[in-house]
Structure 1
């Protein structure tokens, strides 16, 4: 059938046919009713990690004659989260002490830089999380964190959140000190309010205190719309005090706890280089964002094929 219509699919394809051609003809062709076929697709996670593009073309067969549609190309950005170690809370300060020394009992920050999501995309952003599995034998969470806009963000109502704005109020944090886990999540309602034409990127500062001697590594996971992306691994070393060859035991005065921080929606504020407040307890397709292919049909057999090309 495809061969008679001079259609030769390349790669994977879908085929749509009428179960009852005569009924289909009477219900749609005679009445001049057009049909649109929507075929949901999910971009593979691997492409989100490498970036690339994929193309799609549809065919339609009417009374044995084959017709082809235009080619649609979807671009997938590479998501590349980063991690730093800082001594300040100023988003404008790019100093990074990764690979260097952290003194015993020193307070410092893990800086989690989320992946950037370009604008002009086809689907809403609904998940943007920071998952940090730190080494609780050497680091003690102080109970304080901050989240800042890394890029200018435009909302559907026209509001612009400037880069460097404090966005902690749009997040929640789940903390398990016993397991050394911190998960910072943006509220879904806020993410869905971000304009499809706007880029989105955020960064989080998690404040720690070094409580033991040794070398400690840390990697975090950035989850965006159901796909996980790993950051680089940072490493810091805390040497023994030469005046005291027996380093003190880690501070375990506080009982390990599991706590969830929830914030009310608040107007974003510009970032300030100050101490953190104490917390209480259309052309682009994305990540696994849902791609949609629409095919206008009149009668008979419709076929679609997809071929993928990676950078």
Structure 2
């Protein structure tokens, strides 16, 4: 395969991963499903493109401004919708995502439905990988912090969290804002990779794709989000030889994984040096016919 083709797939996977990491915090660790994250990507993409094209800002500051604007918009949406329970929040975010797309369809300053060409090409595999590494580091530290534990508590039992003094609304809002900021940066990366933006690039299909990647990789697993983004972004391209059947096979593969692995590929586990060492020890003990030891002297 052509090296540029492989590099392109990996770059797109990294862009998707940026949005998926944010959605993983919201859905996997806080327990709120969103079907409007393509809207936050659109806000970040158009804002960062405006910063570079209209105002001549450098690439990285433009990305950060795109993420910040997406986070600010999410704070307004969150204050209006986070008191909704269950499916109603999903429906509200779905409506938000579609509303953003329809608004951009009619804003001629950004080219309207025809799209916005001529965006400078700044995104490449190197800066996508660096931004992904920084994003994973920040997200991992958030999850391990007191605030991350409070978000997980909200996911597990909202009422009990309120009883022990956790401000449930506040942590839901923080999770939504961080998630939107990640999506906004992903949108900026996409804008400066494609060098062209069009509202239909941020349709409900894109939001659904991001949610599928989070569930496919494993809810509550950053490693699962990385693996899911790589697999599900690459799979349609690997199946391109099957022409019109490739998306059918893609969907079938996702369904099979969801049936055989309901908790996702990683199932909430993380690939860390300590977990890899434990896995290696278990495999070595299994080969020697020895029981695997857990803390406290118990065997598995």
User: Which of the pair is proportionally richer in helix?
Assistant: 2
TM-score (norm 2): 0.21
TM-score (norm 1): 0.21
